[in-house]
Amino acid sequence: MLPFIRSDLAQFNAYKPHPSSDTAAAIPVQLDRLDTNESPYDLPPELKEKLAWTYQQVIETNRYPDGGHETLKEAIAKYVNESASLTSPVFTATNISIGNGSDELIRSLLIATCLGGEGAILVANPTFSMYGILAKTLGIPVVTVARNLDNFEIDLKAAQSAIEQTQNPPIRVVFVVHPNSPTGNSLTTAELSWLKSLGEKILVVIDEAYFEFSQTTLVSELAQRPNWVVLRTFSKAFRLAALRVGYCVAHPQAIAILEKVRLPYNLPSFSIAAALAAMQNSQLLLETISPTLNEREKLIKLLSQHPALKVTKSAANFIFLRLLTNNPDPQNATLKTLHQELKASRTLVREISGGLRITIGTSDENTRTFNRIQAALANLEF
């Protein structure tokens, strides 16, 4: 260990980007990349051409990008208003902060709330791993509670007692994903009332990365709740994972803090242009949502018929699959084998929290996924 490095960082491993990004480039065979919940569809060619033109004719690469993001913020605010079917628009650019992916915003929120021993965070596992990873790199304690293993609801009793009992530092932020990853369930009424019961000293972060698939949003709560923020991303339904754009919707005071914390030129000019184009063509881009949801239901139905599989319902563009085995298997050996077999047959999925998280791909990909799972299971002992 280098002697000038913070001692607590010694035990950390760097975040391992999912294998598909390197394997896809390295292996010239067709891989079904269903491990990171991206859209299977690239941008429509006409939109790509428009962006190529923008890159050639408008963007001056010798100049810093627009550091204020005003035009993009306005376009996002308009989309957020529409997305909540608000009768009169309530959100403006003052309610939006834009990050280099919502990952950057998660880190900014942590810096703004918990850094320097001021707070800890609460997460209910299994959930999105970046909250915990980013908190730990900042030396922020992570308090975890469990979920019900049948329906993945948060153990609210444990969560409440964690809030009451955690001191030095107290819990300052609660992170939830709506719908949750990797399990696909939306927040329930009970979970929502618990979140609403949290005092104004606790920031509630509602991560709506999969909003366009779930079509349920909590942004309309933000007006009454200055301690809530909603995160969204262009990486999933808007098909721009390569360009790293996410945004936060919140009270103007919270936004002002995020703006203080962010790096001045956090978004490249090309990413700003692409996100703006996505907002201007949102209907075109979101045309793939409905076929994806149909595909999801089809895949759930097929997989549910298999006696060895348990699939839970999902409000997102992925499903969570578990094995029903007669043998107790704390190491998940059968699951790991299934994961490996799928990889060997060129379907990449994510093995996580005792199950497989499978992104909904194109119709062909989903058919292959089902066939390959069936073939792999036929060779496995239960």
Ligand X SMILES: *Cc1c(COP(=O)(O)O)cnc(C)c1O
- Per CB under 6 A, residues contacting ligand X are 37, 101-103, 128, 177, 181, 207, 209, 233, 235-236, 241, 246
Pairing type for strands 228-233 and 309-311 reads unpaired
Distance of CA 208 to the CA centre of its chain: 7
Distance CA 43, CA 34 (A): 18
Q: Per the structure block, which two tokens stand in for 283?
A: 């209907």
Smallest gap from residue 265 Cβ to ligand X (A): 17
Distance CA 59, CA 373 (A): 46
Smallest gap from residue 196 Cβ to ligand X (A): 21
Nearer to ligand X by Cβ, of 233 and 347: the residue is 233
Smallest gap from residue 203 Cβ to ligand X (A): 16
Smallest gap from residue 234 Cβ to ligand X (A): 7
CB of 125 closer than 8 Å to CB of 353: yes
Smallest gap from residue 305 Cβ to ligand X (A): 28
Nearer to ligand X by Cβ, of 126 and 246: the residue is 246
Residue 298, H or E segment: helix 289-304
DSSP string, 310-347: EE---SSSEEEEEE--SS--TT-HHHHHHHHHHHHTTE
Beta strands in the chain (DSSP E): 32-33, 96-99, 120-124, 142-145, 171-177, 203-207, 228-233, 246-249, 309-311, 318-323, 347-348, 350-352, 355-359
Nearer to ligand X by Cβ, of 81 and 235: the residue is 235
Smallest gap from residue 327 Cβ to ligand X (A): 32
For residue 347, which of 309, 373, 374 has the smallest C-alpha distance? Answer: 373
If DSSP codes are grouped into helix, strand and coil, which group holds residue 276? helix
CB of 184 closer than 8 Å to CB of 312: yes
Smallest gap from residue 206 Cβ to ligand X (A): 10
Smallest gap from residue 211 Cβ to ligand X (A): 11
Nearer to ligand X by Cβ, of 217 and 235: the residue is 235
Cis peptide, bond prior to residue 226, ω within 30 of zero: no
Smallest gap from residue 18 Cβ to ligand X (A): 11
Nearer to ligand X by Cβ, of 22 and 164: the residue is 22
Nearer to ligand X by Cβ, of 219 and 308: the residue is 219
CB of 231 closer than 8 Å to CB of 246: yes
Nearer to ligand X by Cβ, of 136 and 306: the residue is 136
Q: Which residues pair with 229 in a beta bridge?
A: 205
Cis peptide, bond prior to residue 330, ω within 30 of zero: no
CB-based closest residue to ligand X: 101
Q: Which residues pair with 319 in a beta bridge?
A: 358
The structure tokens 């208003």 sit at 81
Smallest gap from residue 336 Cβ to ligand X (A): 23
Nearer to ligand X by Cβ, of 27 and 242: the residue is 242
CB of 365 closer than 8 Å to CB of 30: no
Nearer to ligand X by Cβ, of 312 and 374: the residue is 312
Nearer to ligand X by Cβ, of 105 and 376: the residue is 105
